[in-house]
């Protein structure tokens, strides 16, 4: 038998959402539906993510709507797209000043609000921004991405490190630190350290 929810409680980060549950019905699923199926009233649908928790189920449902927060930029083919921490492209917002940027040097493509870039690369960039200064006393000056190699970083010591994906990050950082100690930071300038292949780091 079908269940009928008698009461829907909406909790949101914006007053307009709290005041209009019917607006939520249009907005909330928008980022997971194709553009042709999105309601015309949803002006900036993918600025919102959603989650729901039952309360006195099945008679009452509490739905939480959270505004997506701009994190940085995804640069592709001369266009800078604002993304959140999950890699979702956001419309009509700007990230904080000096927000990080990931430069995608792969094939050009036209991206639209609601599209998702490589979420693993975005999460990896967030982790590296904290762990590289903490563990290696280096500053990341640029992120670069290709679908083939994944994420690479350029450091303020003027060398490049290919990280790849977000697997085994702590191990990769440990290998990076060992290689730098063996070769010397100054001697690595202008070279590339490739950490994608676990026990077979490549230095060129």
Reported as a single tens digit per residue, the pLDDT across 28-73 is 333 443 444 333 333 455 665 655 555 555 667 777 777 889 999 9
Using alpha carbons only, how large is the chain's radius of gyration in Å?
A: 21
Residues 87-112: pLDDT tens digits?
999 999 999 999 999 999 999 999 99
Which position has the higher pLDDT, 27 or 47? 47
Among residues of the chain, what percentage have pLDDT more than 70? 71
> Which of 36-50, 119-133, 142-156, 173-187 shows the lowest per-residue confidence on average (mean pLDDT)?
36-50
Nearest alpha-carbon partner for 165 in 99, 129, 112, 121: 121
| Tens-place pLDDT, residues 109-133 | 999 999 999 999 999 999 999 999 9
In the predicted model, what is the mean pLDDT of residues 152-158? 98
Q: Residue 97: its pLDDT value, please?
A: 92
- pLDDT(163) > 50: yes
d(CA 84, CA 74): 10
Rounded Cα gap, residues 95 and 194, in angstroms: 30
Neighbours of 151 (CB within 10 A): 23
pLDDT band at 13 (very low <50, low <70, confident <90, very high): low
Average pLDDT over residues 147-169: 98
Is the distance from CB of 126 to CB of 85 less than 8 angstroms? Answer: yes
CA dihedral (143, 129, 200, 204) positive or negative: positive
**Domains of the chain with CATH codes:** 7-67 (no CATH), 69-204 (3.40.50)
Q: Is 56 helix (H, G, I), strand (E, B) or coil?
A: coil
């Amino acid at each position: 038998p079908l269940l009928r929810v008698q009461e829907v409680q909406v909790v949101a980060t914006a007053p307009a959402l709290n005041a209009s549950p019917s607006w939520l019905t249009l907005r909330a699923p928008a980022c997971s539906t194709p553009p042709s199926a999105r309601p015309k009233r949803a002006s900036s649908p993918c600025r919102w993510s959603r989650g729901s928790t039952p309360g006195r189920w099945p008679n009452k449902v509490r739905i939480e709507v959270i505004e997506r927060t701009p994190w940085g930029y995804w640069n592709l083919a001369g266009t800078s797209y604002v993304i959140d921490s999950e890699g979702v492209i956001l419309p009509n917002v700007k990230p904080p000043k000096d927000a990080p940027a990931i430069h995608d040097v792969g094939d050009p493509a036209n991206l639209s609000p609601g599209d998702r870039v490589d979420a693993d690369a975005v999460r990896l960039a967030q982790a590296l921004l904290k762990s590289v200064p903490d563990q290696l006393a280096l500053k990341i000056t640029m992120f670069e991405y290709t679908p083939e190699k994944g994420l690479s970083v350029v450091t303020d010591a003027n060398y490049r490190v290919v990280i790849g994906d977000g697997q085994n990050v702590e191990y990769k950082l440990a290998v990076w630190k060992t290689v730098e100690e063996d070769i010397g930071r100054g001697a690595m300038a202008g070279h590339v350290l490739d950490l994608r292949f676990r026990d077979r780091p490549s230095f060129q």
